Structures are given as structure tokens and as C-alpha cells.
């Protein structure tokens, strides 16, 4: 009996030992999978712009947006067959999932043409005759912002960034049922871009006259004004807009490569033709067509040529495009070592991050090409170091509430675009097993970059001094007087051109421009919810592309795959 008891005790201790060993191993693995992150502190930029009145009512009376920051729920559904990462994502952060569901809908709000499966009750068919004077069908595409112009330059940027988001985070989108809506919206844009490129050296870059359009306040469904077309060609070149459109088509060709190979091939053909046109007939569209300077004036086309060639390299694997961005034009065009802000007009930071991807995952490049790729990555690292609040090179361009702040007009664009690049770079580090980013001797982890991206997303969604969601339709409190013609006029009303009583109305918009990311706060974190305040209150389609990319990256966590194909 004593021997049996001793034997059982030994067996019991052995079981305990095994259990402890298993638990310890699990803890070690978990710790290895986590990344330390720095405490986030913000340095304000000296001086403030003129004070702007906040939205009506005291800030502390505004209800916070839906969901606590750390809320997560189990994976809603497994990723589909087009998942872009190995293995399923981890737990879903419901806050970002809800926000992504809202953000994607703004593309439906902005659609032109014969609507299919229309999910926006107050929208209907519009601009069905666009392009008819040249025998073209330019009815699709999307309106730029609160107006009814189709500006090709920012619209192509919208398509490029939305493609990038889908390529990197399609599995995240799929997990929360947003992949198909995003793809459908993307194709709505590229269907238009294909028709806007009727021959190799002709690209229609605008539908509508901004001067006429801005003298009217009306719903797009009841527009009666003429819709003139604007084109670039060999006599009136537009390198930046042709190259951006090439980038959009190259990136989108990758999105549809496995699901619609015929469409993908057509897009790639247009992309290659447009890049050749852009590069051969160099000239800024702002010079060729001075009228565009009042709306989307270009600062130059070097960045778009690099951006387009980088996407064509991704889409084709043709090393001539890699040589173009590294050996042939890197020194002249890339402004290596000088970090800048990513936007519809400046593609350099996006190019630097995209080519860092190539460098981190291996390109099979020549020595000279590798040197160029390393210069792109070093500049991308400088961009990242500037974003991290605790970095010795951190930008001081931040509001007291923590938002990156660069410009009064559409102040949300740069912080959201920067946060999108940060979450991408974080995931590139994780995938390539790059443990730290060095910022003048101070190491930062991928988690630090992700925390920065989350800080910007959370500010947008209500964690700001106004306690206001800048994403229309998300949370309990968001702007009610959005500068948007269609949203401001009841669907039953035909105002003609003269609906300005709805612009000046003191009543909230009768329709919700759901998913619109408004221009954003001033430097003092204030926002004036006033319909005629287009500087702060107007949403844009290209803002939607970067916020969809950012939210898609934050919905869940998983590394990206080294190749888009």
C-alpha cells in the first residue's frame, strides 16, 4: 500500500511537472509574439490658427463613439479563397470592424452612372450622358467630394490606394464582409478609367466644368448643366495624371488577377500604355491646362512616374521597371533622405514604403538596383521615425489631442495617409522578421508603429477633445451639416441649379453621407459643424481610400505575404 501511494505521488508530480512545462512554454511563445511599445506622448506645434467655434453644445455633453478601444470579438468568418496572408487572422477588433463597414459605404454615396444594387436610399442614377459628345461612356466613376466633378487625378489615386489596401488586407476585409463591396467600388472606378483612355496617347482627365458646377447647388440626379470633357494628349501632356492612372490600373490588375484574369489583363495593357505615354511626353497637366490649378494643382510629376513604375514592377515582375525607379531615375526623382507627407499630390512616401516591401522581402535585383532600394527604405524609415511620437526625430506637427496636423484644408488627409503607411510598414517588419526600427539610436518595434496608427484612427473615431467622430455615420455623434450637395437636399426635391436655400439651411442634412471622412479639425482640435465650412466639413473620395486602408489594417492582426501574386 505504501509503495502504491509513493508511485501515485510520483505519477502526480510528473503530471504537475508536465502541465507546468506546457504552460511555461505557452507563456514564452506568447511573449515572443508580443512586441514592446513606447508610451505615446505628443509635442504641440508652437502657435495656433484662429479659433473656430466647436460644434453646438459643450464637448463634455457629447456621447463617446461606440465601443471601448480594446473591445474585440471572435473572428466573424474565416477568410475567403483570396486571403492575402498565411493562416487566418486573429481576433477581430469590433470597433474598427464597425468603422470599416461605415467607411466603405461612402464609395456608394459617390457613385455616378446607372447604379447597380444601390444601397444608398437617397441616391439614384445620374450623369448617364457623361462622355456622349465624344462617343464615350464616362457615366461611371465617382464624384470627387461634395460637388459633382470627376477629377481624374485624385480619382486615380483613390483607385491605387484602395487596390493597395485590398492586396495587403483583403483577408481582413473578408473576415468582416467588406472585401466584395470594396472590390465592386474599385471596379466602378477602373471601368470609368478604361473608357477614359480611348487611345494610347489620349486620356480624359475631367468630366464637368468646376466653375459651372460650383455655381450650382443640386442633387446629381437632377443635374441639367453641360458636362464638358478635358483631356491630356501629346500636344497637351499630363504626365502626373497619366502616370497616376497607370499606377491605378497596374495595382487593380493585381486585385483581379485570380478572380477575373481577362479584366486584369485589360487593365495591365492600359497601365503599360499610359506609363509609356506619361514618360515619353513629359509635361505637367497644371501647365498644359492652367484651369486645373484652381482645384487639383500638381507640384510635379517625378513622384508619379516612380509610383507608377513601382506598381508596374509589382504587376509584371519586369525588371526594367525596377531599374527605372532605382538606377535610371532614383537619384534624380526620389529625393532620397528627405521624408515628406503622403497625399493625392505627393506619392514619394507611398513609393518609399512600397519599394521597402520589395527590399525587405527580396527582389533578386542587381547590386545597383539593391543600392537604390536601400535608399528608398532608408527614406521610408525616416518617414516612420518622424511619425513615432517618442522618436528623437518626431514631427512637432501634432495637435494637443495627438493628431498629426499639416494643413488647415482637409487636415485629415495627411494623418490618415501616414497612419496607413505606418500599419503597412509595421506588418512588413513582422513578415520579414525585422525586430526594430532604428531612429537615431533609439529602437522601435512594429508594435510602436501600430500603436501610432491606432492613435490616429482612434482620434478620427471619437477619442479627441471634441468627442466627435469625424467619420460620418459612425458612433453616436458625428457631423450633421456635411458639405455635400446630395446629402443636403431631400431625395424628393428637384431644385435645378438653384438649391442654395438647402446650403444655407439651419437644419441638419436630411440624408447621411455615410462613410464620409470630413476635412477635420483645426490645429486647436476644434471643428465647426457648418455646411458652408467646406474647409472642415467636406468629405472626399480619396480620403475614404486611405481611411479604408487604415481600418482594414487594424481590424485584426496578421502578417502580410511577401508577394502580391
Residue of 35, 172, 270, 483 marked catalytic: 483
CB atoms within 10 A of CB 375: 19
Tell me phi and psi for residue 229, to 5 degrees: -110, 150
CA angle 210, 216, 219 (to 5 degrees): 105
**3 state DSSP class of 350:** helix
Q: Where are the alpha helices (DSSP H) in 65-221?
A: 94-104, 106-110, 152-175, 179-195, 210-213
User: Cα(237)–Cα(220) distance, rounded to whole angstroms?
Assistant: 30
Whole-angstrom distance, CA of residue 246 vs CA of residue 274: 5
Here the cell at position 103 is 467607411
List own/partner pairs for 299-303 with CB under 8 A and 24 or more apart: 299/345, 299/346, 300/240, 301/239, 301/240, 301/243, 302/329, 302/332, 302/333, 302/334, 303/240, 303/333, 303/346, 303/347, 303/348, 303/351
What's the gap between Cα 551 and its chain centre?
9
**Phi, psi (degrees; rounded to nearest 5) at 204:** -80, 125
367: β partners: none
The answer to whether the beta carbons of residues 216 and 260 sit under 8 Å apart is no
The three-class DSSP label of residue 199 is: strand
214 catalytic residue (yes or no): no
Catalytic residue annotation: 483
Amino acid at each position: 500500500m505504501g509503495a502504491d501511494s509513493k508511485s501515485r505521488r510520483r505519477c502526480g508530480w510528473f503530471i504537475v511537472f508536465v502541465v507546468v512545462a506546457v504552460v511555461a512554454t505557452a507563456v514564452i511563445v506568447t511573449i515572443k509574439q508580443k512586441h514592446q511599445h513606447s508610451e505615446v506622448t505628443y509635442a504641440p506645434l508652437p502657435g495656433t490658427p484662429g479659433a473656430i467655434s466647436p460644434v453646438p453644445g459643450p464637448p463634455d455633453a457629447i456621447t463617446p463613439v461606440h465601443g471601448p478601444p480594446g473591445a474585440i470579438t471572435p473572428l466573424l468568418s474565416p477568410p475567403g479563397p483570396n486571403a492575402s496572408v498565411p493562416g487566418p487572422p486573429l481576433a477581430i477588433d469590433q470597433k474598427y470592424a464597425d468603422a470599416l463597414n461605415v467607411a466603405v459605404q461612402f464609395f456608394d454615396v459617390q457613385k455616378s452612372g446607372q447604379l447597380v444594387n444601390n444601397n444608398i436610399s437617397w441616391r439614384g442614377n445620374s450623369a448617364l450622358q457623361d462622355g456622349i459628345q465624344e462617343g464615350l461612356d464616362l457615366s461611371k466613376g465617382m464624384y470627387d467630394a461634395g460637388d459633382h466633378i470627376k477629377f481624374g487625378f485624385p480619382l486615380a489615386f483613390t483607385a491605387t490606394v484602395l487596390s493597395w489596401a485590398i492586396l495587403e488586407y483583403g483577408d481582413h476585409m473578408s473576415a468582416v464582409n467588406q472585401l466584395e463591396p470594396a472590390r465592386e467600388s474599385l471596379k466602378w472606378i477602373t471601368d470609368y478609367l478604361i473608357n477614359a483612355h480611348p487611345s494610347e496617347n489620349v486620356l480624359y482627365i475631367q468630366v464637368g466644368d468646376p466653375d459651372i458646377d460650383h455655381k450650382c447647388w443640386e442633387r446629381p440626379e437632377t443635374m441639367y448643366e453641360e458636362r464638358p470633357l478635358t483631356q491630356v494628349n501629346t500636344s497637351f501632356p499630363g504626365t502626373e495624371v497619366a502616370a497616376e492612372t497607370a499606377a491605378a490600373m497596374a495595382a487593380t490588375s493585381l486585385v483581379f488577377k485570380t478572380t477575373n484574369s481577362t479584366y486584369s489583363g485589360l487593365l495591365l495593357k492600359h497601365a503599360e500604355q499610359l506609363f509609356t505615354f506619361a514618360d515619353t511626353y513629359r509635361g505637367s497637366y497644371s501647365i498644359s491646362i492652367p484651369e486645373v490649378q484652381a482645384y487639383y494643382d500638381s507640384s510635379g510629376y517625378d513622384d508619379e512616374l516612380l509610383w507608377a513604375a513601382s506598381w508596374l514592377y509589382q504587376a509584371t515582375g519586369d525588371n526594367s521597371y525596377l531599374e527605372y525607379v532605382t538606377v535610371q531615375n532614383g537619384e534624380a526623382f526620389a529625393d532620397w533622405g528627405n521624408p515628406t507627407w503622403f497625399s493625392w499630390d505627393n506619392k514619394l512616401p507611398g513609393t518609399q514604403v512600397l519599394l521597402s516591401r520589395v527590399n525587405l522581402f527580396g527582389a533578386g535585383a542587381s547590386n545597383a538596383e539593391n543600392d537604390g532600394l536601400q535608399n528608398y527604405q532608408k527614406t521610408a524609415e525616416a518617414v516612420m521615425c518622424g511619425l513615432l511620437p517618442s522618436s528623437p526625430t518626431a514631427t512637432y506637427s501634432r495637435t494637443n489631442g495627438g493628431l498629426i496636423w499639416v494643413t488647415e484644408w482637409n487636415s485629415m488627409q495627411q494623418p490618415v495617409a501616414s497612419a496607413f503607411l505606418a500599419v503597412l510598414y509595421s506588418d512588413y517588419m513582422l513578415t520579414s522578421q525585422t525586430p526594430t526600427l532604428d531612429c537615431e539610436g533609439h529602437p522601435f518595434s512594429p508594435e510602436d508603429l501600430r500603436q501610432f496608427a491606432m492613435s490616429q484612427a482612434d482620434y478620427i473615431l471619437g477619442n479627441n477633445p471634441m468627442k466627435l467622430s469625424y467619420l460620418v455615420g459612425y458612433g453616436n455623434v458625428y457631423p450633421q451639416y456635411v458639405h455635400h450637395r446630395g446629402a443636403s437636399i431631400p431625395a424628393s426635391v428637384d431644385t435645378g441649379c438653384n438649391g442654395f436655400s438647402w446650403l444655407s439651411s439651419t437644419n441638419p442634412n436630411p440624408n447621411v453621407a455615410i462613410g464620409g471622412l470630413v476635412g477635420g479639425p483645426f490645429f486647436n482640435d476644434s471643428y465647426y459643424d457648418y455646411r458652408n465650412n467646406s474647409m472642415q466639413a467636406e468629405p472626399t473620395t480619396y480620403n475614404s481610400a486611405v481611411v479604408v486602408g487604415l481600418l482594414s489594417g487594424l481590424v485584426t492582426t496578421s502578417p502580410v505575404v511577401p508577394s502580391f501574386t
